[in-house]
C-alpha cells in the first residue's frame, strides 16, 4: 500500500511530471524514471522532447552539482543509471521518429586501461544530445580505433584514460592518425581524471573535456564549426 | 601511537629531529618509520600529508608545494615520498620547479611491487585491483565508503565489473591483514591473490636519500 506522501506520477500534469522526473533523476530512481517516460509517451510527447526536456535537462543539473562538489561519483552513477533506464525505452523510438542527428562519435578507453565509468557517462550524454555513438569499450589498441574510424566514418573520436600510465597512449593514436594523413578528418576529444588541458594540447587533441557536460558542449560547437567550414 | 585515522585525516607532524626531511603521503608513514628505525637513519625527519588527499589527486601538488615552503628553511634537503599518484605528471612538474626529488613510479603500489616488475606485469594484470598494507587497513575509508558501496551496493558491479582479481601487495607478514584483504576481495566479488613485496623501491629510494645526505 502506498504511503500517504507517495506521489502518483500519472496524476501529475506535464509540467509537474517533468519537474518530478528531474528530482527522481537526481535521486537515481530508475523505476520512477521509466514509469514517467511511459506516461509522457502515452500523453503524446515525442521521444525527442522527453529526452531533451526531462532526461538531459535533469542530468545537466546532476552534472553541474557534481562539478560544484555537491554531488559525488556514486550519486552521479545512480542518476546515470536512472537516465539509462529512460534512454532504453526512448532509443528505438528516437530512430523511428527521425529525431535530429548532431553527428557521430566513436569512443573508447585506451589500451591498458579498463576504466569506463567516465567514458560511459560521456557516451550516454552524447546520445542524449543527439549524437550517434559507437562505443568501442575498454582496452583499445590503435588498430581498433583505426578500424572503427574507417568503418564508421564519425565526426568525432573520443578517447578516455584513468591511469597516468595509460594516458600517453592517446598520443600514440593521434600520431597514427597523423602518419596516415587522417588527423584532420576527425575532431579528437580526450578526457579522464589525470588529464588536463595542457596534456590535451601537448598530444595534439582538439580539446580536453573535463566532464560529460563539457564533452557535449565541445562536441556541438566543434561539429557545427566543421560543418560550416565544409559548407 | 600513530593511528591510521590520523594519518588519513591530518597526516603526521615533523618531530624536529633530523637534518633532512621526507615529506610523504600518510599512507607511507608506518613503512618509512620502519625503514628509518631498522637502518638507523636518525638524520632523517618525517612529516606526512593526509593520505585522504588521494581521494582528490588534483590537490596533491599544491599540498606538497605548501609543505615544502613550510619546511624548506629548517632542513638541508627534502625528499618527496610520493609517486605520481594520479596527478598526471603534475607532481613531477611541481617537484622539478621546487628543486626537490620525488619517488619514481605511477603509484605507491607500483613502487612497493617494484616499478619495473609492475610495468612488466601491466598487460597480464590489467584487470587487477591493488591494495597495500595501509589500504587494507583503511579499505572502508578509502574504497568502500567513498565509492558509496555502503549505501548503494549495486554500484559495485558498475565500478568493479571490469576487474577480476584483488592483489594484496603485502609490505609485512601479518595474518590479520591477509584475512582482511581476502575479505575485501570477497566484498568486491573479486578473486584474491597475495604477493609479498616488502618495501620495494621505497626502500631503495630512501636508502639513496639517506646515503646522499649522511
Question: What are the extents of the domains in chain A?
Answer: 10-100, 101-231
Contacts of A117 in chain B (CB under 8 A): 158-159
Distances (CA, A) of B186 to B158, B180, B181: 16, 10, 9
- The sheet with strand A156-160 has its strands ordered as A131-135, A103-109, A156-160, A187-191, A207-208
Compute the residue count for chain A.
231
Whether the CB of B90 is below 8 Å from some CB of chain A: the reply is: yes
pLDDT in tens, chain B (214 residues): 789 999 999 999 999 999 999 999 999 999 999 999 999 999 999 999 999 999 889 999 999 999 999 999 999 999 999 999 999 899 999 999 999 999 999 999 999 999 999 999 998 999 999 999 999 999 999 999 999 999 999 999 999 999 999 999 999 999 999 999 999 999 999 999 999 999 999 999 999 999 999 9
**Helix, strand or coil for residue A151?**
helix
Closest Cβ–Cβ partner in B84, B107, B155 for A74: B155
CA angle B181, B10, B102 (to 5 degrees): 75
Contact check, Cβ <8 Å, B106/A74: no
Topology of A10-100 in CATH? 1.10.1240
- Evaluate the CA torsion angle A101, A103, A104, A107 in order and state its sign: negative
Radius of gyration of chain B (CA): 17
List strand residue ranges (DSSP E) for chain A, in order: 103-109, 131-135, 156-160, 187-191, 207-208
**Which chain B residue has the Cα nearest residue A161?**
B88
pLDDT of residue A3: 53
CA angle A62, A95, A97 (to 5 degrees): 100
Write the ipTM. 0.85
Question: What's the CATH class of domain A101-231?
Answer: alpha beta
> Taking the domains of chain B in order of start, what are their residue ranges?
4-107+200-213, 115-196
**Which chain B residue has the Cα nearest residue A168?**
B88
User: Which residues are within 8 A (CB) of B106 and not within 5 positions of it... i.e. 6 or more apart?
Assistant: A163, A164, A165, B83, B84, B85, B115, B118
Mean confidence (pLDDT) of chain A: 93
Whether the CB-CB separation of A113 and A191 falls below 8 Å is answered with no
Contact check, Cβ <8 Å, B88/A167: yes
Phi, psi of A41 (to 5 degrees): -60, -45
> A136-147 b/e with 16+ CB inside 10 Å = b?
bebbbebebbee
Contact check, Cβ <8 Å, B119/A165: yes
Closest Cβ–Cβ partner in A74, A117, A139 for B148: A74
Chain A interface, best mutation among B158, B159, B163, by max A CB count within 10 A: B158
Contact check, Cβ <8 Å, A199/B88: yes
Residue matched to cell numbers 601491466: B122
Chain B interface, best mutation among A84, A135, A194, by max B CB count within 10 A: A194
**Which chain B residue has the Cα nearest residue A27?**
B152
Q: What is the pLDDT of residues A23-76, one digit of tens each?
A: 999 999 999 999 999 999 999 999 999 999 999 999 999 999 998 989 998 999
pLDDT at residue A1 greater than cutoff 50: no
pLDDT of residue A97: 81
Instruction: Tell me the C-alpha distance between A170 and B152, whole Å.
Output: 33
pLDDT at residue A230 greater than cutoff 90: no
- What is B4-107+200-213's CATH number, 3.10.100, 1.10.260, 3.40.50, 1.10.3720? 3.40.50
pLDDT at residue A102 greater than cutoff 70: yes
Contact check, Cβ <8 Å, B147/A167: no
Longest dimension (CA), chain A: 66
Contacts of A72 in chain B (CB under 8 A): 146, 148
Whether the CB-CB separation of B12 and B50 falls below 8 Å is answered with no
Whether the CB-CB separation of B28 and B102 falls below 8 Å is answered with no
Closest Cβ–Cβ partner in B84, B146, B155 for A77: B155
pLDDT of residue A99: 79
pLDDT of residue B35: 97
**Helix, strand or coil for residue A164?**
coil
Q: What is the 3-state secondary structure (H, E, C) of B144-194?
A: HCCCCCCCCCCHHHHHHCCCCEEEEEECCCCHHHHHHHHHHHHHHCCEEEE
Strand partners, B25: B49
User: Which residues are within 8 A (CB) of A165 and not within 5 positions of it... i.e. 6 or more apart?
Assistant: A112, B106, B119, B122
Radius of gyration of chain A (CA): 19
Whether the CB of B104 is below 8 Å from some CB of chain A: the reply is: no
Distances (CA, A) of B63 to B6, B52, B54, B69: 17, 12, 11, 10
Average pLDDT over residues A120-149: 96
pLDDT at residue A2 greater than cutoff 60: no
Contact check, Cβ <8 Å, B122/A164: no
- Which residue numbers of A have CB closer than 8 Å to B's CBs? 28, 72-75, 77-78, 81, 112-117, 138-139, 163-165, 167, 193-196, 199
Residue matched to cell numbers 503524446: A44
Report the percentage of chain A scoring pLDDT > 70.
Answer: 97
Average pLDDT over residues A132-136: 97
Contact check, Cβ <8 Å, A114/B151: no
Amino acid at each position: 500500500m502506498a504511503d500517504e506522501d507517495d506521489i502518483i506520477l500519472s496524476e501529475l500534469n506535464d509540467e509537474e511530471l517533468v519537474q518530478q522526473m528531474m528530482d527522481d533523476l537526481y535521486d537515481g530512481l530508475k523505476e520512477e524514471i521509466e514509469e514517467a517516460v511511459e506516461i509522457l509517451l502515452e500523453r503524446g510527447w515525442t521521444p525527442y522532447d522527453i529526452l531533451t526536456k526531462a532526461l538531459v535537462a535533469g542530468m545537466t543539473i546532476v552534472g553541474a552539482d557534481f562539478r560544484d562538489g555537491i554531488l559525488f561519483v556514486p550519486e552521479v552513477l545512480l542518476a546515470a543509471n536512472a537516465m539509462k533506464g529512460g534512454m532504453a525505452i526512448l532509443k528505438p523510438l528516437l530512430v523511428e521518429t527521425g529525431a535530429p542527428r548532431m553527428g557521430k562519435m566513436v569512443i573508447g578507453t585506451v589500451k591498458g586501461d579498463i576504466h569506463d565509468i567516465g567514458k560511459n557517462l560521456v557516451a550516454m550524454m552524447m546520445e542524449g544530445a543527439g549524437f550517434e555513438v559507437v562505443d568501442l569499450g575498454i582496452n583499445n589498441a590503435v588498430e581498433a580505433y583505426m578500424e572503427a574510424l574507417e568503418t564508421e566514418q564519425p565526426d568525432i573520436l573520443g578517447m578516455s584514460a584513468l591511469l597516468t600510465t595509460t594516458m600517453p597512449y592517446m598520443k600514440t593514436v593521434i600520431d597514427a592518425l597523423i602518419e596516415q594523413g587522417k588527423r584532420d578528418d576527425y575532431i579528437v576529444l580526450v578526457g579522464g581524471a589525470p588529464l588536463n588541458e595542457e596534456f590535451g594540447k601537448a598530444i595534439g587533441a582538439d580539446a580536453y573535456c573535463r566532464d560529460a557536460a563539457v564533452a557535449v558542449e565541445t562536441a556541438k560547437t566543434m561539429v557545427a564549426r566543421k560543418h560550416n567550414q565544409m559548407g | 601511537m600513530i593511528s591510521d585515522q590520523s594519518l588519513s585525516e591530518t597526516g603526521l607532524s615533523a618531530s624536529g629531529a633530523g637534518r633532512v626531511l621526507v615529506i610523504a603521503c600518510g599512507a607511507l608513514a608506518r613503512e618509512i618509520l620502519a625503514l628509518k628505525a631498522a637502518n638507523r637513519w636518525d638524520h632523517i625527519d618525517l612529516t606526512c600529508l593526509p593520505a585522504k588527499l588521494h581521494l582528490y589527486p588534483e590537490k596533491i601538488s599544491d599540498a606538497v608545494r605548501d609543505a615544502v615552503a613550510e619546511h624548506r628553511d629548517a632542513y638541508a634537503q627534502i625528499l618527496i615520498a610520493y609517486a605520481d599518484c594520479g596527478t598526471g605528471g603534475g607532481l613531477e612538474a611541481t617537484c622539478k620547479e621546487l628543486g626537490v626529488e620525488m619517488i619514481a613510479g605511477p603509484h605507491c603500489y607500483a613502487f612497493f611491487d617494484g616499478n619495473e616488475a609492475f610495468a612488466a606485469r601491466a598487460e597480464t594484470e590489467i584487470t587487477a585491483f591493488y591494495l597495500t598494507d595501509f589500504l587494507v587497513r583503511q579499505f572502508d575509508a578509502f574504497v568502500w565508503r567513498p565509492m558509496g558501496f555502503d549505501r548503494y551496493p549495486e554500484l559495485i558491479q558498475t565500478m568493479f565489473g571490469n576487474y577480476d582479481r584483488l592483489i594484496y601487495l603485502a609490505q609485512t607478514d601479518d595474518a590479520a591483514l591477509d584475512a582482511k584483504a581476502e575479505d575485501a576481495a570477497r566484498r568486491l566479488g573479486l578473486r584474491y591473490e597475495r604477493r609479498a613485496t616488502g618495501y620495494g623501491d621505497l626502500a631503495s629510494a630512501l636508502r639513496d636519500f639517506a646515503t646522499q645526505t649522511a
